[in-house]
Amino acid sequence: MFRFELDAIDPTTQARVGRWMTPHGTVETPAFMPVGTLGTVKGLTPDMIRSTGAQQVLANTYHLALRPGAEVVQELGGLHRFMNWDGPILTDSGGFQVFSLAKLTKINDDRVVFRSHIDGSLLELSPERAVQIQEQLGADCIMCLDECPPHDVPRDRLIEAVDRTTAWALRCQQAQTRPDQALFGIVQGGTDPELRARSAAGLVPLEFPGYAIGGLSVGEAPSQMYDTLDVTVPLLPTDRPRYLMGVGRPEDLLEAVLRGVDLFDCVMPTRNGRNATAFTSRGLVKLRNSQYRTSTAPLDPACSCLACRDFSLGYLRHLFTAQEMLGPILISLHNLTFYQTLLRELRQAIRTGQSAEFRQAQLAQWRGSV
Protein backbone atom coordinates (compact mmCIF):
# COMPACT_ATOMS: atom_id res chain seq x y z
CA MET A 1 0.00 0.00 0.00
CA PHE A 2 2.88 2.33 0.83
CA ARG A 3 6.25 2.04 -0.86
CA PHE A 4 9.25 4.33 -1.27
CA GLU A 5 11.65 3.70 -4.11
CA LEU A 6 14.84 5.59 -4.89
CA ASP A 7 15.39 6.26 -8.59
CA ALA A 8 18.64 8.25 -8.46
CA ILE A 9 21.20 9.60 -6.03
CA ASP A 10 23.60 12.37 -7.03
CA PRO A 11 27.05 10.99 -6.14
CA THR A 12 28.41 14.53 -5.67
CA THR A 13 25.87 15.34 -2.90
CA GLN A 14 23.34 13.43 -0.80
CA ALA A 15 20.46 14.57 -3.02
CA ARG A 16 18.10 11.85 -4.20
CA VAL A 17 15.09 11.38 -6.46
CA GLY A 18 12.43 8.90 -5.43
CA ARG A 19 8.80 7.88 -5.61
CA TRP A 20 6.54 7.77 -2.54
CA MET A 21 3.58 5.53 -3.40
CA THR A 22 0.36 6.05 -1.42
CA PRO A 23 -3.29 4.91 -1.75
CA HIS A 24 -4.10 8.20 -3.53
CA GLY A 25 -1.21 8.30 -5.93
CA THR A 26 2.54 8.54 -6.28
CA VAL A 27 4.59 11.55 -5.19
CA GLU A 28 7.84 12.21 -7.01
CA THR A 29 10.43 13.37 -4.51
CA PRO A 30 11.88 15.74 -3.53
CA ALA A 31 8.48 17.39 -3.30
CA PHE A 32 6.90 20.47 -1.75
CA MET A 33 3.44 20.25 -0.17
CA PRO A 34 1.20 23.34 -0.17
CA VAL A 35 -0.36 23.96 3.24
CA GLY A 36 -4.16 23.69 3.44
CA THR A 37 -4.56 24.23 7.17
CA LEU A 38 -8.36 24.09 7.29
CA GLY A 39 -8.84 21.83 4.29
CA THR A 40 -8.14 24.61 1.82
CA VAL A 41 -5.02 26.27 0.46
CA LYS A 42 -6.11 29.85 1.04
CA GLY A 43 -7.71 31.42 -2.01
CA LEU A 44 -7.05 28.52 -4.39
CA THR A 45 -9.34 25.81 -5.76
CA PRO A 46 -8.09 22.22 -6.06
CA ASP A 47 -7.82 22.65 -9.83
CA MET A 48 -5.64 25.72 -9.33
CA ILE A 49 -3.42 23.81 -6.92
CA ARG A 50 -3.06 20.97 -9.41
CA SER A 51 -2.14 23.46 -12.14
CA THR A 52 0.94 24.47 -10.13
CA GLY A 53 2.29 20.91 -10.30
CA ALA A 54 1.58 20.13 -6.63
CA GLN A 55 1.26 16.41 -5.95
CA GLN A 56 0.37 16.31 -2.23
CA VAL A 57 -1.14 18.79 0.22
CA LEU A 58 -1.05 19.18 3.98
CA ALA A 59 -3.87 19.85 6.45
CA ASN A 60 -3.80 20.58 10.18
CA THR A 61 -5.13 18.26 12.87
CA TYR A 62 -5.50 20.89 15.61
CA HIS A 63 -7.39 23.39 13.45
CA LEU A 64 -9.69 20.83 11.82
CA ALA A 65 -10.46 19.28 15.21
CA LEU A 66 -11.74 22.69 16.33
CA ARG A 67 -13.71 23.42 13.17
CA PRO A 68 -15.60 21.78 11.67
CA GLY A 69 -14.59 18.84 13.92
CA ALA A 70 -13.02 15.53 12.89
CA GLU A 71 -16.39 13.80 13.19
CA VAL A 72 -17.92 16.21 10.68
CA VAL A 73 -15.10 15.64 8.18
CA GLN A 74 -15.50 11.89 8.63
CA GLU A 75 -19.27 12.08 8.08
CA LEU A 76 -18.69 14.11 4.91
CA GLY A 77 -16.49 11.38 3.46
CA GLY A 78 -13.03 12.17 4.86
CA LEU A 79 -10.59 14.88 3.85
CA HIS A 80 -10.21 13.81 0.22
CA ARG A 81 -13.91 14.13 -0.52
CA PHE A 82 -14.38 17.03 1.93
CA MET A 83 -11.86 19.27 0.13
CA ASN A 84 -12.21 17.63 -3.32
CA TRP A 85 -8.53 16.68 -3.51
CA ASP A 86 -7.99 13.23 -4.97
CA GLY A 87 -4.21 13.15 -4.49
CA PRO A 88 -2.21 12.28 -1.37
CA ILE A 89 -2.81 14.29 1.81
CA LEU A 90 -0.63 14.58 4.92
CA THR A 91 -1.96 15.76 8.26
CA ASP A 92 0.30 17.00 11.01
CA SER A 93 -0.51 15.98 14.57
CA GLY A 94 -0.97 19.30 16.35
CA GLY A 95 2.53 19.10 17.79
CA PHE A 96 3.66 22.34 16.15
CA GLN A 97 0.80 24.16 17.87
CA VAL A 98 2.48 23.22 21.17
CA PHE A 99 5.14 25.69 20.01
CA SER A 100 3.10 28.26 18.10
CA LEU A 101 0.28 28.48 20.68
CA ALA A 102 2.48 28.01 23.74
CA LYS A 103 0.59 30.65 25.75
CA LEU A 104 -2.63 28.67 25.26
CA THR A 105 -1.28 25.22 26.15
CA LYS A 106 -0.46 23.09 29.15
CA ILE A 107 1.64 19.98 28.59
CA ASN A 108 2.59 16.95 30.64
CA ASP A 109 3.74 13.42 29.91
CA ASP A 110 0.18 12.27 29.25
CA ARG A 111 -1.22 14.93 26.93
CA VAL A 112 -1.43 18.53 25.76
CA VAL A 113 -4.38 20.70 26.72
CA PHE A 114 -5.10 23.61 24.36
CA ARG A 115 -7.37 26.53 25.06
CA SER A 116 -8.95 27.24 21.70
CA HIS A 117 -7.72 30.41 20.03
CA ILE A 118 -11.25 30.76 18.60
CA ASP A 119 -13.57 30.60 21.61
CA GLY A 120 -11.48 29.57 24.60
CA SER A 121 -12.88 26.04 24.81
CA LEU A 122 -10.55 23.21 25.81
CA LEU A 123 -9.09 20.68 23.40
CA GLU A 124 -7.14 17.77 24.84
CA LEU A 125 -4.64 15.99 22.59
CA SER A 126 -3.03 12.81 23.82
CA PRO A 127 -1.02 10.64 21.43
CA GLU A 128 -4.02 8.33 21.17
CA ARG A 129 -6.45 11.17 20.51
CA ALA A 130 -4.16 12.73 17.89
CA VAL A 131 -4.10 9.42 16.00
CA GLN A 132 -7.87 8.98 16.38
CA ILE A 133 -8.54 12.45 14.92
CA GLN A 134 -6.20 11.80 12.00
CA GLU A 135 -7.86 8.46 11.33
CA GLN A 136 -11.21 10.23 11.22
CA LEU A 137 -9.78 12.84 8.83
CA GLY A 138 -8.47 10.04 6.62
CA ALA A 139 -5.19 11.46 5.26
CA ASP A 140 -2.69 9.15 3.57
CA CYS A 141 0.20 10.21 5.80
CA ILE A 142 -0.30 11.04 9.47
CA MET A 143 2.13 12.27 12.10
CA CYS A 144 2.93 11.20 15.64
CA LEU A 145 2.14 13.74 18.33
CA ASP A 146 5.40 15.40 19.34
CA GLU A 147 6.65 18.27 21.45
CA CYS A 148 8.28 21.05 19.45
CA PRO A 149 10.08 23.41 21.88
CA PRO A 150 11.66 26.75 20.93
CA HIS A 151 15.25 26.42 19.77
CA ASP A 152 16.66 28.48 22.65
CA VAL A 153 15.21 26.59 25.64
CA PRO A 154 17.59 25.17 28.26
CA ARG A 155 19.11 21.80 27.44
CA ASP A 156 17.18 19.99 30.16
CA ARG A 157 13.92 21.13 28.50
CA LEU A 158 15.17 19.85 25.16
CA ILE A 159 15.96 16.48 26.72
CA GLU A 160 12.48 16.38 28.24
CA ALA A 161 10.90 17.16 24.84
CA VAL A 162 12.98 14.51 23.06
CA ASP A 163 12.11 11.80 25.57
CA ARG A 164 8.44 12.79 25.64
CA THR A 165 8.32 12.73 21.83
CA THR A 166 9.82 9.25 21.79
CA ALA A 167 7.38 7.95 24.39
CA TRP A 168 4.45 9.51 22.54
CA ALA A 169 5.61 7.98 19.24
CA LEU A 170 5.30 4.49 20.71
CA ARG A 171 1.84 5.31 22.05
CA CYS A 172 0.79 6.66 18.63
CA GLN A 173 2.03 3.50 16.95
CA GLN A 174 0.13 1.33 19.41
CA ALA A 175 -3.04 3.42 18.92
CA GLN A 176 -3.07 3.23 15.13
CA THR A 177 -5.82 1.02 13.69
CA ARG A 178 -5.97 1.95 9.99
CA PRO A 179 -3.54 0.12 7.68
CA ASP A 180 -4.17 2.60 4.86
CA GLN A 181 -2.36 5.44 6.63
CA ALA A 182 1.41 5.83 6.96
CA LEU A 183 2.40 7.05 10.43
CA PHE A 184 5.62 9.09 10.54
CA GLY A 185 7.84 9.52 13.59
CA ILE A 186 9.27 12.98 14.28
CA VAL A 187 12.89 13.57 15.30
CA GLN A 188 13.35 16.44 17.76
CA GLY A 189 16.38 17.79 19.64
CA GLY A 190 16.77 21.42 18.62
CA THR A 191 20.22 22.20 17.24
CA ASP A 192 21.97 19.88 19.71
CA PRO A 193 23.71 17.05 17.78
CA GLU A 194 23.67 14.69 20.77
CA LEU A 195 19.96 15.16 21.33
CA ARG A 196 19.17 14.69 17.64
CA ALA A 197 21.06 11.39 17.85
CA ARG A 198 19.19 10.51 21.04
CA SER A 199 15.86 11.19 19.36
CA ALA A 200 16.70 9.18 16.24
CA ALA A 201 17.98 6.29 18.35
CA GLY A 202 14.61 6.11 20.08
CA LEU A 203 12.52 6.34 16.91
CA VAL A 204 14.34 4.36 14.24
CA PRO A 205 13.88 0.98 16.01
CA LEU A 206 10.11 1.56 15.88
CA GLU A 207 10.30 1.06 12.08
CA PHE A 208 8.00 3.89 10.98
CA PRO A 209 7.30 4.02 7.23
CA GLY A 210 8.69 7.56 7.16
CA TYR A 211 10.54 10.00 9.39
CA ALA A 212 10.12 13.73 9.87
CA ILE A 213 12.63 16.25 11.17
CA GLY A 214 10.83 18.70 13.41
CA GLY A 215 11.88 21.63 15.55
CA LEU A 216 13.68 23.61 12.85
CA SER A 217 12.81 26.97 11.32
CA VAL A 218 11.69 28.06 14.80
CA GLY A 219 14.12 30.94 15.23
CA GLU A 220 17.55 29.44 14.70
CA ALA A 221 19.96 30.80 12.06
CA PRO A 222 19.95 29.07 8.66
CA SER A 223 23.51 27.90 9.24
CA GLN A 224 22.38 26.17 12.46
CA MET A 225 19.58 24.44 10.57
CA TYR A 226 21.99 23.20 7.90
CA ASP A 227 24.45 21.95 10.52
CA THR A 228 21.60 20.13 12.27
CA LEU A 229 20.53 18.50 9.01
CA ASP A 230 24.13 17.40 8.41
CA VAL A 231 23.94 15.52 11.71
CA THR A 232 20.35 14.29 11.58
CA VAL A 233 19.68 13.09 8.03
CA PRO A 234 22.37 10.35 8.07
CA LEU A 235 20.73 8.91 11.20
CA LEU A 236 17.50 8.15 9.32
CA PRO A 237 16.84 5.07 7.17
CA THR A 238 17.75 5.49 3.51
CA ASP A 239 14.75 3.45 2.35
CA ARG A 240 12.08 5.69 3.93
CA PRO A 241 10.97 9.22 2.99
CA ARG A 242 12.51 12.03 5.04
CA TYR A 243 10.29 15.02 5.69
CA LEU A 244 11.57 18.41 6.90
CA MET A 245 8.61 20.06 8.59
CA GLY A 246 7.67 23.70 8.10
CA VAL A 247 10.77 24.78 6.18
CA GLY A 248 10.09 26.80 3.08
CA ARG A 249 12.57 29.42 1.87
CA PRO A 250 13.66 28.36 -1.63
CA GLU A 251 17.32 28.43 -0.61
CA ASP A 252 16.54 26.25 2.41
CA LEU A 253 14.83 23.69 0.17
CA LEU A 254 17.92 23.51 -2.01
CA GLU A 255 20.25 23.09 0.95
CA ALA A 256 18.05 20.43 2.55
CA VAL A 257 17.59 18.41 -0.64
CA LEU A 258 21.35 18.30 -1.14
CA ARG A 259 21.54 16.85 2.37
CA GLY A 260 19.09 14.04 1.53
CA VAL A 261 15.63 15.43 2.47
CA ASP A 262 12.62 14.32 0.38
CA LEU A 263 9.50 16.20 1.53
CA PHE A 264 8.72 19.78 2.57
CA ASP A 265 5.81 21.98 3.55
CA CYS A 266 5.51 25.64 4.47
CA VAL A 267 2.97 28.47 4.44
CA MET A 268 5.61 30.84 3.04
CA PRO A 269 4.64 30.82 -0.66
CA THR A 270 0.96 31.47 -0.01
CA ARG A 271 1.44 33.80 2.97
CA ASN A 272 3.91 35.89 1.00
CA GLY A 273 1.55 35.78 -1.95
CA ARG A 274 -1.24 37.24 0.13
CA ASN A 275 1.13 40.00 1.20
CA ALA A 276 2.23 41.12 -2.29
CA THR A 277 5.60 39.36 -2.34
CA ALA A 278 6.43 37.06 -5.25
CA PHE A 279 9.23 34.54 -5.61
CA THR A 280 10.67 34.80 -9.11
CA SER A 281 13.60 33.55 -11.15
CA ARG A 282 15.37 36.84 -10.45
CA GLY A 283 14.62 37.04 -6.74
CA LEU A 284 11.85 38.51 -4.60
CA VAL A 285 9.49 41.00 -6.21
CA LYS A 286 7.59 43.28 -3.83
CA LEU A 287 4.56 44.29 -5.80
CA ARG A 288 3.63 47.39 -3.80
CA ASN A 289 6.85 49.01 -5.00
CA SER A 290 6.00 52.13 -7.03
CA GLN A 291 8.49 51.18 -9.76
CA TYR A 292 5.91 48.71 -11.09
CA ARG A 293 3.07 51.23 -11.33
CA THR A 294 3.14 51.49 -15.14
CA SER A 295 5.09 48.33 -15.99
CA THR A 296 3.74 46.25 -18.85
CA ALA A 297 6.27 43.46 -18.20
CA PRO A 298 5.21 40.09 -16.82
CA LEU A 299 5.93 39.25 -13.20
CA ASP A 300 8.39 36.52 -14.21
CA PRO A 301 9.18 35.88 -17.90
CA ALA A 302 10.44 32.41 -16.95
CA CYS A 303 7.04 31.38 -15.52
CA SER A 304 3.97 30.23 -17.44
CA CYS A 305 1.41 30.50 -14.60
CA LEU A 306 -1.81 32.48 -15.04
CA ALA A 307 -0.43 35.57 -13.26
CA CYS A 308 2.67 35.72 -15.45
CA ARG A 309 0.97 34.68 -18.68
CA ASP A 310 -2.05 36.99 -18.69
CA PHE A 311 -1.30 40.03 -16.51
CA SER A 312 1.25 42.83 -16.26
CA LEU A 313 3.24 43.91 -13.23
CA GLY A 314 1.33 47.20 -13.31
CA TYR A 315 -2.00 45.39 -13.11
CA LEU A 316 -0.84 43.03 -10.36
CA ARG A 317 0.39 46.01 -8.32
CA HIS A 318 -2.96 47.74 -8.85
CA LEU A 319 -4.82 44.74 -7.42
CA PHE A 320 -2.89 45.04 -4.15
CA THR A 321 -3.07 48.82 -3.84
CA ALA A 322 -6.82 48.60 -4.52
CA GLN A 323 -7.13 45.69 -2.03
CA GLU A 324 -8.77 43.46 -4.63
CA MET A 325 -8.86 39.78 -3.66
CA LEU A 326 -7.62 38.69 -7.09
CA GLY A 327 -4.14 39.96 -6.23
CA PRO A 328 -3.47 37.51 -3.35
CA ILE A 329 -5.04 34.69 -5.40
CA LEU A 330 -2.82 35.26 -8.43
CA ILE A 331 0.43 35.69 -6.48
CA SER A 332 -0.31 32.67 -4.27
CA LEU A 333 -0.84 30.69 -7.47
CA HIS A 334 2.39 32.04 -8.93
CA ASN A 335 4.45 31.35 -5.81
CA LEU A 336 3.29 27.74 -5.61
CA THR A 337 4.07 27.34 -9.32
CA PHE A 338 7.56 28.75 -8.67
CA TYR A 339 8.13 26.22 -5.87
CA GLN A 340 6.91 23.28 -7.93
CA THR A 341 9.01 24.33 -10.92
CA LEU A 342 12.07 24.66 -8.68
CA LEU A 343 11.62 21.14 -7.30
CA ARG A 344 10.90 19.65 -10.73
CA GLU A 345 14.07 21.18 -12.19
CA LEU A 346 16.04 20.10 -9.12
CA ARG A 347 14.85 16.51 -9.58
CA GLN A 348 16.20 16.59 -13.10
CA ALA A 349 19.52 18.02 -11.93
CA ILE A 350 19.83 15.21 -9.40
CA ARG A 351 19.23 12.62 -12.12
CA THR A 352 22.09 14.05 -14.16
CA GLY A 353 24.43 14.42 -11.17
CA GLN A 354 24.34 18.22 -11.26
CA SER A 355 22.50 19.14 -8.05
CA ALA A 356 25.44 21.15 -6.66
CA GLU A 357 25.74 23.14 -9.88
CA PHE A 358 21.98 23.71 -9.89
CA ARG A 359 22.12 25.10 -6.35
CA GLN A 360 24.92 27.51 -7.22
CA ALA A 361 23.18 28.71 -10.35
CA GLN A 362 19.90 29.33 -8.52
CA LEU A 363 21.52 31.17 -5.64
CA ALA A 364 23.39 33.39 -8.10
CA GLN A 365 20.14 34.20 -9.92
CA TRP A 366 18.32 35.11 -6.70
CA ARG A 367 20.98 37.44 -5.30
CA GLY A 368 19.81 41.03 -5.23
CA SER A 369 16.02 40.98 -4.81
CA VAL A 370 14.14 43.56 -6.87
The residues annotated with a catalytic role in the active site are 92, 265
192 three-state secondary structure: coil
**Closest-CA residue to 108 (of 131, 132, 126):** 126
* Backbone angle region of 353, left / alpha / beta, with phi > 0 → left and psi within -120 to 50 → alpha: left
CA distances from 55 to 51, 89, 141, 360 (A): 10, 9, 13, 26
SS3 content of the chain, % helix, strand, coil (to 5): 45, 20, 35
Asked if 245 contacts 213 with a C-beta cutoff of 8 angstroms, the reply is yes
Q: Give start and end residues of each alpha helix (H) in 52-141.
A: 61-66, 70-75, 78-83, 95-100, 127-137
d(CA 339, CA 316): 20
* All residues at 6 or more sequence positions from 202 whose CB lies less than 8 Å from its CB, including other chains: 162, 163, 166, 169
Residue 108 CA from chain centroid, whole number: 26
